[in-house]
Structures are given as structure tokens and as C-alpha cells.
């Protein structure tokens, strides 16, 4: 089995390598290796040869064949000027025998990978089940394997029955799902995904909560994660060769899992595509939308909400988004959860006009906190063709929450409509001009005198000018309240019978609060 030249270079990196091979040659496959025995006629173009610089009588050979040269003397640069060099130069204190050992290991591992790939192809041809594939993987890798789906629920394992001192593995095998603490640590450790910048990450090292290192292979289909295959470094260290075999096994599992779940995946994929088309406004004909709704079996209750869930302060990796998609599908018992623009978007249908009762909302908040997420919720709507417009409401609720420094895990657009309207004026005018003179006067007075006339006025308006309720809400005596109201009338000449004035005052306070956040 051939070994790529760049793999040889990588293996020799610790040996003080000074490669003179052009990058264009690094993908060349080397079919064999040997020590150079001063017989130019026996050299092969697809082999690599190990020698000392002092043994090279004809240095021009280094431009024609692949060499690993130990520089026990300086190499003649002139001999390398006329053609692209193909040699790897090592420091003078390196040993030929040690280099040969490195090459032997590389070729042995390459033969092993070739044999493993043949066995995996034969397993596919024989129609192995997922469990049989994992059993074969255990034979090939000789370390325990554990397969979980995208929501980290147990699918199958091999070689893990007799594991000791690994509570998280034991938990998964006995309970059928990954422990929540471990799931959170896996799904929030985004630094591990920087291993192959700009490329699809196929394997991830996991450490920390485990007593042994664990290499996790991603089972992908069309870049969509289906599952994770965990290889525990239990019996012996995991090598680079093991890593490549794990990737091959993941690819075989991807084909098997896609076939097994073809009907379910096709159904989910169609409804996902339909909802995405609605958000992209690729579908706008009402009759066509209703026809698709029937075609995909979306039997929805009459009350609809758009919910946008954002992952806070973390990189939105595909793995984590798909994991959370399954989590929220299970929580709401709905398949109408899609990934859109790096966030989760949920089409939630309800029997009542309330999105959830108090107990369910508390559970929703808890789930959001566990996964470090925030949800924006739209106003209620009744037709699928309004989905895009209400998605924008939920999305805007999240942005408004950031702008207004809201700390709640759930942001209802219903409660943010007026702030949204006020902020929309920022491009047209200075919104400070919207503040009513009464509010400006009382705010300035409170700041100078340390009084609280503005707070008293707002409480009085909000309680429909009921002095008893207002006094209770402010925790002050009835007579104290009457005194403050009379002083407010004296200072501002406010007319409490003018509903337009009272509305402008309430609006002005909201503007004032918004300005305090900007």
C-alpha cells in the first residue's frame, strides 16, 4: 500500500526536518522504501531512499529520485539548482535505523488501513446492521465504541460491557442517553472544532469529564450530522491510523443509518424545506401553501406562533444546532423545528391563545437556561402564509432584548411593540423630542431634589387614578400620595381628565427608559 509523501514528512517532523520538497510533490504516493546502496541503476521513481550525505557520490540523483538524507556533511546546493529537488534533509545526529523504523511503521499502518477498508466494504456488501458494524469496528480498533444519535441518545455499543472507572459511559449504557452535564460540556466546547480550519471537522477529541481520552467521529450525510461514534482510549493509545479507520467506519454508518431511517428523514426533510421556503418567501400563493400543508401532513391547531431560539455567547456549530433541534422537538412534541440562519425557528401551534401555561413556560425557561439560549416569540397568527412576517417579529424581539438590555430568557414581541415603534423613529428624528414636557420637568426635579414625583405620577396613571391602589403599590400613606399628586398638578398644570395627555406621558416614560439603555 502506498503512503503519501506529505505523511512521511509529517512523521519525520520531530527529527529536525529540513525538507527541500516543493509543495507540488507532497501528494505523490510512495510505493516503497529502502536504504540507498550506491547502485543508481536500482532506484525506482515511486520509492524513497534513506542515506547519509557522505554516501552520495552522485548528488544529481537527488533531483531525480526521492531521498531522505542525513546531513552528516553539507549538501552541495549547486547540484540542486537546475531541477526541482525531491529530498528530505535531516540533522546530522539522526540515525538511519531510526528513520527506517518510522517508514516501516507508516507502511504497516497503511497496509492495516487498506485491510480495514476492504473489511468494511465487504460488511456493506453483506448488509451488516449497525450493531454488526460496531462489533467489526471493535475488532479493528480494539477500543470500546459507543454510538449515540444527534440528541445524544444511545443507539449501540461494542466492547463497553466491562469498562471500569468510566461513570459517564456506564450511565449511557444503563440509562440509554448521555448525562446532561456531559452533553452540555460536549456541545459547548467549540474550541475543539477549530482543528481543521475551513474544512469539515470529522473527528473531535473529548476530555475533561472522562477518565480516559475519547475520540469522537461525526457521522455525516450531506454535511448534516446524524450521530456520533465515540472511541474510548481504554485498552491502548489511539493512533493516527485508528483515527482514519474511525472516519471510514463513520462513513459506512452514515450510509447504513440513512437507509434505515429513509422514510422518516424524507418526511422531515420535506417539511423542513417547506418551512424554509415560507421564511425565504419563495412560496406566497395561499392556495399552494394550503395544498403543501395537507401534502406534508402538517395537522396544525388554529393558533400559531413563531419562536426563534438563539444560542448565546457561543459559536453556532452544526452539531450543537442539530442537537438542540432534537431537544426542542422532543420538548414541544413537534417536528416543525428547523435550522435557519444559524438559529432554531419553531412553528408552534396551540389549542388555546396562550403559547403555554405557567408550568410549561417555567420548564421552557429552565431548558433555555440549561442550554444557554434565549427565545423570541411572535404575536399570535392563524395562517401559514403569515409565518415569515411573524418570524421577523420573533427575530426582532431578540434584537430588541439585546438593545434594551433585557435579561429574560423569553422575549415576547407583544411586550416590545411600542419600543420597536419608538426605535424605528431613530432614523427620522431625535427620539428625545418625543418626551412630553411634564416628564422632562418631573425628571429634572427628581434629580435635583431627590424626590420621586415621576414614579408617583406613573403609578397613579397605571392604577387608573385610584388613590388607594396607588398608595398601596408605592407603600406610602394615603395622605402622602394626595400631597404628591397636588404638588404635581401645581408644578406641571397637568389635566388628569385629558386621556391624550396621559397616553403621551406613558409613551414618554417608555422613550426615557429606552434612552437609558442606548
Q: Are 393 and 378 in contact (CB under 8 A)?
A: yes
Q: How many domains does the chain have?
A: 4
- For the chain, the distance separating the N- and C-terminal CA atoms, rounded to the nearest angstrom, is 65
- CA–CA distance, 354 with 390 (Å, rounded to integer): 16
- CA–CA distance, 439 with 417 (Å, rounded to integer): 21
CATH number at residue 203: 3.30.450.40
β-bridge mates for residue 308, sequence order? 345, 376
> Consecutive sets of 10 residues in the chain, 518 residues long: mean pLDDT of each?
80 69 68 84 86 79 80 68 64 83 89 92 90 93 90 84 83 80 67 48 81 90 86 92 93 77 50 86 82 79 94 74 87 89 93 88 92 94 93 95 91 90 76 84 88 90 90 90 90 88 86 75
Q: Mind spelling out the 3-state secondary structure of 75-88? A: CCHHHHCCCCCCEE
Q: Are 66 and 6 in contact (CB under 8 A)?
A: no
Specify whether 236 is located in the same domain as 158: yes
Give the pLDDT confidence score for residue 82 in this predicted structure: 47
Give the pLDDT confidence score for residue 9 in this predicted structure: 81
Give the pLDDT confidence score for residue 15 in this predicted structure: 62
Residue 212 within a domain:
yes
Give the pLDDT confidence score for residue 195 in this predicted structure: 44
Nearest in space to 48 (alpha carbons), one of 109, 107, 115: 107
CB atoms within 10 A of CB 128: 17
Cβ partners under 8 Å of residue 301, min gap 6: 349, 350, 351
Residue 32 within a domain:
yes
Q: Is this prediction's pTM over 0.75?
A: no
CATH number at residue 21: 3.40.1390.20
- CA–CA distance, 121 with 132 (Å, rounded to integer): 13
Cell numbers 444559524 correspond to 342
Specify whether 410 is located in the same domain as 270: yes
CATH number at residue 433: 1.10.10.2840
CA dihedral 35, 93, 24, 240 (to 10 degrees): 80
Give the pLDDT confidence score for residue 146 in this predicted structure: 92
Nine-digit cell string for 371: 442550554
- CA–CA distance, 169 with 174 (Å, rounded to integer): 9
Specify whether 282 is located in the same domain as 336: yes
Q: Are 205 and 198 in contact (CB under 8 A)?
A: no
CB atoms within 10 A of CB 395: 21
- CA–CA distance, 383 with 385 (Å, rounded to integer): 5
Q: Is 260 helix (H, G, I), strand (E, B) or coil?
A: helix
Q: Are 143 and 235 in contact (CB under 8 A)?
A: yes
Specify whether 95 is located in the same domain as 10: yes
Specify whether 181 is located in the same domain as 218: yes
Specify whether 144 is located in the same domain as 217: yes
Specify whether 238 is located in the same domain as 135: yes
- Of 360, 387, 415, which one is at a domain's C-terminal end? 415
How far are the Cα atoms of 202, 289, 306, 355, 387 from residue 380, in angstroms, in the given order?
Answer: 42, 19, 8, 8, 10
Question: Cα 134–135–137 angle (5° rounding)?
Answer: 60
Q: Are 460 and 442 in contact (CB under 8 A)?
A: no
Give the pLDDT confidence score for residue 260 in this predicted structure: 45
Give the pLDDT confidence score for residue 316 in this predicted structure: 60
How far are the Cα atoms of 306, 396, 515, 516 from residue 404, in angstroms, in the given order?
Answer: 21, 12, 9, 9
Q: Give the range of the structural domain holding residue 41, as residue numbers without chain letter.
A: 3-107
CATH number at residue 390: 3.30.70.270
- Of 243, 260, 277, which one is at a domain's C-terminal end? 260
Q: Are 144 and 233 in contact (CB under 8 A)?
A: no
Q: Is 148 helix (H, G, I), strand (E, B) or coil?
A: strand
- Of 380, 415, 450, which one is at a domain's C-terminal end? 415
Amino acid at each position: 500500500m502506498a503512503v503519501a509523501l506529505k505523511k512521511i514528512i509529517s512523521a519525520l517532523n520531530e527529527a529536525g526536518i529540513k525538507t527541500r520538497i516543493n509543495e507540488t510533490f507532497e501528494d505523490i504516493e510512495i510505493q516503497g522504501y529502502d536504504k540507498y546502496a550506491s547502485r543508481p541503476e536500482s532506484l525506482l521513481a515511486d520509492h524513497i531512499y534513506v542515506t547519509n550525505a557522505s554516501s552520495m557520490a552522485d548528488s544529481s540523483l537527488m533531483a531525480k529520485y526521492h531521498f531522505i538524507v542525513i546531513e552528516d556533511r553539507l549538501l552541495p546546493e549547486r547540484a540542486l539548482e537546475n531541477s526541482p529537488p525531491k529530498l528530505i534533509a535531516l540533522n546530522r545526529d539522526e540515525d538511519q535505523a531510526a528513520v527506517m523504523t518510522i517508514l516501516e511503521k507508516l507502511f504497516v499502518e497503511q497496509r492495516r488501513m487498506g485491510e480495514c477498508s476492504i473489511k468494511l466494504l465487504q460488511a456493506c456488501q453483506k448488509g451488516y446492521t449497525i450493531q454488526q458494524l460496531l462489533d467489526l469496528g471493535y475488532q479493528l480498533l480494539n477500543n470500546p465504541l459507543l454510538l449515540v444519535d444527534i440528541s445524544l441518545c444511545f443507539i449501540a455499543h461494542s466492547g463497553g460491557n466491562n469498562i471500569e472507572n468510566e461513570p459517564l459511559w456506564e450511565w449511557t449504557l444503563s440509562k440509554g442517553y448521555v448525562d446532561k452535564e456531559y452533553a452540555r460540556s460536549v456541545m459547548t466546547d467549540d474550541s475543539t472544532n477549530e482543528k481543521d480550519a475551513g474544512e469539515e471537522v470529522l473527528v473531535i477529541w473529548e476530555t475533561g469529564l472522562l477518565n480516559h481520552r475519547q475520540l469522537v467521529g461525526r457521522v455525516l450525510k450531506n454535511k448534516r450530522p446524524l450521530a456520533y461514534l465515540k472511541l474510548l482510549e481504554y485498552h491502548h493509545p489511539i493512533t493516527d491510523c485508528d483515527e482514519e479507520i474511525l472516519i471510514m467506519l463513520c462513513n459506512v454508518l452514515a450510509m447504513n443509518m440513512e437507509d434505515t431511517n429513509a422514510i422518516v428523514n424524507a418526511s422531515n426533510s420535506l417539511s423542513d424545506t417547506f418551512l424554509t421556503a415560507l421564511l425565504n418567501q419563495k412560496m406566497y400563493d395561499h392556495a399552494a401553501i394550503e395544498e403543501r400543508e395537507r401534502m406534508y401532513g402538517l395537522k396544525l391547531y388554529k393558533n400559531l406562533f413563531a419562536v426563534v431560539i438563539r444560542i448565546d455567547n457561543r459559536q453556532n456549530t452544526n452539531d450543537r444546532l442539530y442537537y438542540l433541534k432534537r431537544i426542542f422537538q422532543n420538548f414541544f412534541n413537534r417536528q416543525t423545528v428547523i435550522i435557519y440562519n444559524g438559529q432554531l425557528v419553531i412553528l408552534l401551534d396551540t389549542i388555546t391563545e396562550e403559547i403555554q401555561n405557567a408550568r410549561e413556560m417555567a420548564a421552557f425557561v429552565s431548558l433555555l437556561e440549561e442550554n444557554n439560549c434565549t427565545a423570541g416569540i411572535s404575536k399570535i397568527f392563524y395562517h401559514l402564509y403569515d409565518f415569515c412576517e411573524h418570524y421577523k417579529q420573533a427575530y426582532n424581539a431578540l434584537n430588541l432584548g439585546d438593545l434594551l438590555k433585557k435579561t429574560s430568557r423569553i422575549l415576547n414581541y407583544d411586550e416590545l411593540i411600542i419600543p420597536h415603534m419608538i426605535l424605528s423613529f431613530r432614523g427620522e428624528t431625535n427620539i428625545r423630542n418625543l418626551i412630553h414636557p411634564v416628564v422632562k420637568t418631573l425628571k429634572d426635579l427628581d434629580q435635583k431634589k431627590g424626590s420621586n414625583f415621576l414614579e408617583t405620577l406613573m403609578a397613579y396613571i397605571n392604577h387608573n387614578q385610584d388613590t388607594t391602589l396607588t398608595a398601596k403599590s408605592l407603600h406610602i400613606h394615603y395622605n402622602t400620595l394626595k400631597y404628591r399628586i397636588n404638588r404635581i398638578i401645581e408644578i406641571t398644570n397637568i389635566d388628569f381628565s385629558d386621556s391624550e395627555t396621559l397616553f403621551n406621558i406613558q409613551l414618554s416614560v417608555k422613550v426615557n427608559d429606552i434612552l437609558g439603555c442606548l
